[in-house]
Amino acid sequence: MDLVVQSPDELLAAVPHVLGFKPEESIVLVPFRPGLPITRVDLPRTAADREEVWDALSGPYGRHALPGSCVGIVCITQDRRNAELASQHLSNRLETVGITSHLRLWADGERWREFNTGATGLQTQEAAERIAAKTVLTGSVQPAASRESLSASLVGDREPIAQVLETARKEAAASTPSAERDWALDRLEQFHADGNRLSDVDGARMLVALETISTRDALWEDMSTQNTASHIALWRDLTRRAPEEVRAAPASMLGFASWLRGDGAKAWCALDQVPVDRPYSMAAIVASALQNGLHPREWERHQAQMREVASELDESFVPKPPGQNAQRDVPRTQPSTDRSAPGR
C-alpha cells in the first residue's frame, strides 16, 4: 500500500495503516525510496539493547542499501529521552551501510518532535481521518488496535472441528493420499470461486489432508501474488478453528500467504500460532524469509532452493510459549526484516 504524506502528522497517522496495527513503545523505519524494508522493532531501553537491535537489522539493511538510500526513524513512546538516544544510535549505524536518516521523529500519541530540526507539533484527528479515508478508498482493512489484538484475531472456536477430527482421520485412512489431495485441490478451487467458509466436516478433512506433505505442497504451489487474498481468507479461518494437533500447517500457510502479500505483521502473528511443541519446516521457511529481508517478488527465484532444504529446517523454528513471542513486524509490499525485543 502506497501512501503520500505531506507532514510528520500525516506520517504518524499513516504508520498504523502500513503496519496493520497501532504500534506502542516501538521504532519504525520508513524508507523514503523503494528498495528498503519498512520495519517495526520494540524500542530498546539500554545501550546493549540498542546494539543488539542493530546487529539484527544490519544484515537486511546492508543488503538492500543503494546509493542515496534514506529512511525516516519514527519512535512511538512516552519516553522522549530514550527515543532520542535510540534514534540517534540507529541513525549513526545506518550511515555505516550508506543509509542516511533525514528524519528522526518522536511521538507520544498527542504531540511529535523532529529531533534533527527541533520542529514540534500536535498529532491531529484531521490528519488521522485524511489518511484513514485514503486507505478506505484502496480497500485496505483498517489497522488493529494493537499487535496483541491482531494476534487474538487468529484465535477462534476450535471445539467444533475437534469433535469431528477423529472421524475425518478414519475416512482419510479408508481413502488414498492421491484421492485426498485431489479433493483438497478441488475444495480449494471451490473456495477461490465462492469464498464460502468451509463446514466443520470439510475443515477437518482439509486439515487432515494437509498432514500429507505432498498434499500441503500441492496447495502451497497454488499460491501466487494474484490469489493471496483468497488464500489468506481460507487459512486464517482454518488457523482460527484448528485444534493444536493440526494447526501447524494452516498457520504456516497463512504465514506464507501473508508474507507473499507483503503483510509481515500478520505473517509473524500466524507463525505464533504454530504450536510450541511442533517444529514445522514450512514455518521455518517463512521465518527465514522474514528475518533475512527476502522480498516477496524474489520467491519465484528462490523457491526451488528453499523447498529443497525444507526437510533440513524441521528444528529451526520453534515458537515460544504464548506471552513470550518477540514482537517482530514488517508491513505490506516491502522486503522484510525483524528484531526481537532485547532480553526476550
Same domain, 156 and 121: no
Tell me the three state secondary structure of residue 100.
strand
Distance CA 181, CA 344 (A): 40
- Per-residue pLDDT at 158 exceeds 80: yes
Provide the pLDDT for residue 37: 79
Query: Cell digits for 235?
Result: 487459512
Local confidence band at 20 (pLDDT 50, 70, 90 cut-offs): confident
Domain that holds residue 120: 8-143
| pLDDT at res. 333 | 39
**What's the pTM value of the predicted model, to 2 decimals?**
0.74
Which pLDDT does position 331 carry in this prediction?
40
- The DSSP code for 315 is T
Report which secondary-structure segment, H or E, holds 69. Answer: none
The pLDDT score that the predictor gives to residue 245 is: 95
Neighbouring-strand partners of residue 30: 72
Q: Specify the number of domains making up the chain.
A: 2
Name the more confident of 24 and 277: 24
Model pLDDT for residues 221-272, shown as the tens digit of each residue: 999 888 999 999 999 999 999 999 999 999 999 999 999 888 888 898 999 9
Name residues whose C-beta falls within 8 Å of residue 44's C-beta, 6 or more positions apart in sequence. Answer: 27, 50, 52, 53, 86, 342
The DSSP bridge pattern shows strands 70-76 and 100-107 to be parallel
130 is a domain residue: yes
Same domain, 121 and 205: no
* Residue 138 shares a structural domain with residue 28: yes
Same domain, 133 and 202: no
226 sits in which H/E element: none
SS3 of residue 297 by DSSP: helix
Amino acid at 203: G
Least confidently predicted of 68-72, 108-112, 318-322: 318-322
Buried/exposed 228-249: b ≥16 CB within 10 Å, e otherwise? bebbbbbbbbbbbbbbeebbbb
339 occurs within a structural domain: no
Residue 327 pLDDT level (bands cut at 50, 70, 90): very low
- Work out the average pLDDT over 26-49: 89
| Mean pLDDT value across residues 48-59 | 90
Considering the domain architecture, whether residues 122 and 162 belong to the same structural domain is answered as no
C-alpha–C-alpha distance, residues 291 and 24, integer Å: 21
Residue 323 has pLDDT above 60, yes or no: no
CB 327 within 8 A of CB 19: no
